[in-house]
Structure 1
Amino acid sequence: MKSIATLACALPLAASAELRSLSLFDGEDLAAWIGDGYVVEDGTLVCTPEGRNLVTRSIFANYAFDFEFKLPPGGNNGIGILYPGEGDAAYTGIEVQILDNGAEQYADLLPAQYHGSLYKLAAAKEAPLKPTGEWNQERIVVNGSQVQVTLNGELINQADLDELNRRFPDHAGARHRAGHLALCGHGDPVAFRNLRIAEMPPAANDAGAAAAGFVRIFDGESLDGWRAAPGDEGHWVPLNGILKYDGRSESKDKDLWSEKEYGDFTLAFDWRWSAPGPVMKRPVIGVDGRETGKQVEVQELDSGIYLRGSSKSQVNLWNWPCGSGEVYGYRTDPDQPAEVVAGVTPRAKADKPVGEWNRMLITMKGDRLSVSLNGLEVIREATLPGVARKGRIALQHHGTPIDFANLWIKEL
């Protein structure tokens, strides 16, 4: 059977123009941001002399970020993209320069230090900046390895992160494919307004998936085919082909259940963590499925997929040391034989870094389960004794903000 995990194609950057965007700054408060040194003045966001990094609470992967900015004479700021949330955003992430190119003190900068450049990585062409004191419009698009910068309607920079990573292997930011956004202040009173982001799902070949016998179970626009309990309203939200959960449902049953029941099937989908989690210690698990007694610190991020209507037959999506794909309900059941416990333990941790999109395939046939994550088979025909013959699928979570996209199923 041909796997839709391989049926990916590039999503045109221009498609971002059609997407619905969300505000990151409402002109009144900084609820979407973390940091100091910026103030709200007359509906705009202004860097103070103490301003350094102001960082989004959320993590973003594929997106178009639109904003307006106004430079004072000699003004210097930047937009951190793919920023992990710590360190210098120009190096642990990538900084897109915001700079008054006409100022005398910048006459001798290197080409990749002028406005619109990916700082010290990729030079922008001469930027059509408006005079200082006037508002400029800018769009930064990040789509997989592709980055574009458009200023006042003119494309001024286009770069491939894979190529930059080859040229600058020591630059951490060029290796990332997701991260926070940041305003990188240098103490100059640069002003911002109308900060909006339009997120995009990871690319997928719909025609190829359909040809392989898969059908969509999420249409990208609505919750048709799913049951959302009272109190879930506004917490499971379709947006631009992404099913976003904010982690704050007030429902007794916070999980999202399919209306249809399934027996034997292959479920394929993309998922990613859309915000960081608290750091906690979690156990190291051996290949036999037993805990070794060692613990390591990880971000506590926890979700999963209920199979055939049962929480016990849950394929975990989490940031534990063993990686996603584990069936916790069976692994921790003391009545299960050793071969069952070992079978439901991932062979390897195949998760991508927090914030990046993962692609997973789950196959249930009889009482046998196989799981592939990012092209690696992590569970191979594990036995789930007593599993129901048929039941609904649920998108489960433990209060963790998570995104799903490209949900397809093939009944076997």
Structure 2
Amino acid sequence: MLRRPQHRRRGLRDLSGAALALLAVTVTLSACAATEEPDCADRAEEPGYRVLFDGSRSSLEQWQMTGPGTFELSSGCSMVTSGGMGLLWYPEEFEDYILTLDWAITDDDNSGVFVGFPDPEGDVWTAVNHGYEIQIDPSDSPERTTGSIYTFQGADIQARDQAVNPPGEWNSYRIIVRDGRIQVDLNGTLVNDFTSDDPGRDLSSGRIGLQNHGEHDAVHFRNVRILELTS
């Protein structure tokens, strides 16, 4: 999302042990990410799925960055947001598909998965204004929290609360985009089923992207894959 709801940002003493471990690994590896290539060749394959990011530098280089900030290689064949307000996007249009990925936060962090937007052409706001964002944010605001279609439709909060893992642990999104509809599964639980009726946003074909929200947000992503659906 673009404007964070006002809520307390926790300090290190409030983090779980798992969150502190993930944070420590992030700090340690950020210094060497530019020179070391992780061994990610043995990731399990899923029939029919294309790998868009597998933790290797070569797969990260297939993406394009718009706006400030970066995505850096990190531990566990993942990447992590760093700095600025930007958008990492894949330079290919997709029609009907299933997008799967894992994500993890370390604190009160903010990011999102964008779908259905046109070529940004250097403008980070293209995804915001012409696509849809599946939110990642521990906010209590229903339309701005994890699993929501940001500002369009809130997540099923009860289902979300039962499914979501705490900071420091991995979560999985399975996002189905088909026939103008977005279904969001969080760790195997359906938390949103949204149908677009906005003429300014076209889900029939578009790009996908990951948000780099701000310099104090550190969100990890791994195992980004897509299954293109046939009619």
TM-score for the superposition, normalised by structure 2: 0.69
> Which of 84, 100, 110 lines up with 2:118 in the alignment?
84
Aligned counterpart, 2:148: 117
Gaps of 5+ in 1: 1-17, 204-412
Matches within 5 A, 1:50-129: 50=84, 52-86=86-120, 87=123, 88=125, 89-99=127-137, 101=138, 106-107=139-140, 109=141, 111-126=142-157, 127=160, 128-129=163-164
Q: CA deviation at 1:61?
A: 0.9
Report the AA paired with residue 184 of structure 2: V
Aligned counterpart, 1:32: 62
Q: Which has the higher contact order (CA 8 A, sep 6+)?
A: 2
Matches within 5 A, 1:226-305: none
| Secondary structure, counterpart of 1:148 in structure 2 | strand
| Secondary structure, counterpart of 2:53 in structure 1 | coil
| Secondary structure, counterpart of 1:91 in structure 2 | helix
Gaps of 5+ in 2: 1-45
Q: Which string of whole-angstrom CA distances, capped at 9 and with x for unpartnered residues, describes residues 42-89 of structure 1?
A: 221100023520010111111000000001211100001001132422
How many residues matched? 170
Aligned counterpart, 1:158: 193
Q: Classify 1:47/1:196 alpha carbon distance in 2 versus 1 (closer, same or farther; 3 Å).
A: same
Q: After TM superposition, what 4+ stretches of structure 1 lie above 2 angstroms from structure 2?
A: none
More strand by share: 1
More helix by share: 2
Tell me, yes or no, if the aligned pair for 1:19 and 1:199 is still in contact at 8 Å: no
Report the AA paired with residue 82 of structure 1: G
Aligned counterpart, 1:138: 173
Report the AA paired with residue 92 of structure 1: H
Measured on the aligned residues, the alpha-carbon RMSD in Å equals 1.7
Q: CA deviation at 1:184?
A: 1.1
> What CA distance in whole angstroms lies between the structure 2 residues aligned with 1:76 and 1:33?
20
Q: CA deviation at 1:138?
A: 0.9
Q: Which moved more, 1:68-77 or 1:88-97?
A: 88-97
Structure number with larger C-alpha Rg: 1
Give me the identity figure in percent. 31
Q: Which string of whole-angstrom CA distances, capped at 9 and with x for unpartnered residues, describes residues 239-298 of structure 1?
A: xxxxxxxxxxxxxxxxxxxxxxxxxxxxxxxxxxxxxxxxxxxxxxxxxxxxxxxxxxxx
Q: CA deviation at 1:19?
A: 5.8
Tell me, yes or no, if the aligned pair for 1:64 and 1:141 is still in contact at 8 Å: yes
Tell me, yes or no, if the aligned pair for 1:90 and 1:119 is still in contact at 8 Å: no
Tell me, yes or no, if the aligned pair for 2:64 and 2:89 is still in contact at 8 Å: yes
Q: Classify 1:176/1:142 alpha carbon distance in 2 versus 1 (closer, same or farther; 3 Å).
A: closer
